[in-house]
Structure 1
């Protein structure tokens, strides 16, 4: 029976590339993409994008003629201190930039799409058409 090699308590599986390309001395960037959920019900599709600390001004939501929904988010968070008596040796700020494109289903009413930001979550409602089942077109075989 084979057992994993225990190098430390946090790494059960040995990876030769970790040894060869050890980058633990390099600073790691804290980069993540916002979490996105897509739900559906009989009346609409709903998209939720988690982006804490954002406001409605940070987002641009567009839908093109081909039915592609594009979500763009740009957020700058600068900590400014009005007290000029102090000299900063280190000052931190963050900048987030995100873009996601989703192809919409054919049954979305593009003219009635709504978007709002609540508590750092972008909510996009994509209403569905109430049309009957799509008609089937018979194709004659020659």
Structure 2
């Protein structure tokens, strides 16, 4: 993964998602908005399949990648099985017969296989993310993750 990389994404769901497409391929034939049900979103986050970061509003966000964040607003443990994750708008998560691509935004980055902690910090329309190796790959959130 290239630290210092930045991209712009546009979300109509007030959500940024980070995930290894190999872990949610089973959702390919599910509804495209399967994750918009809070219980389904929370189950995917707690299972380490997808990090959904609710950003509070639709629109354009700049995403910047860092090696680590000193004061993240949230940290989500994520499983990585393919060595490749997608970062994009929530509506780009696998579902409805579609898998993520970068045609309409988003970015694929290479990360080590195993568990990682996705740190997130939001400063207005700038979202900083860091992927920190971690033995843990699941979570125990009681509510949706907001930054």
| TM-score with structure 2 setting the length | 0.31
Structure showing greater radius of gyration is 1
Higher strand share: 2
TM-score (norm: length of structure 1): 0.31
Could you say which structure has the greater relative contact order, defined with CA pairs below 8 angstroms and 6 or more residues apart?
A: 2
Which has the larger helix fraction? 2
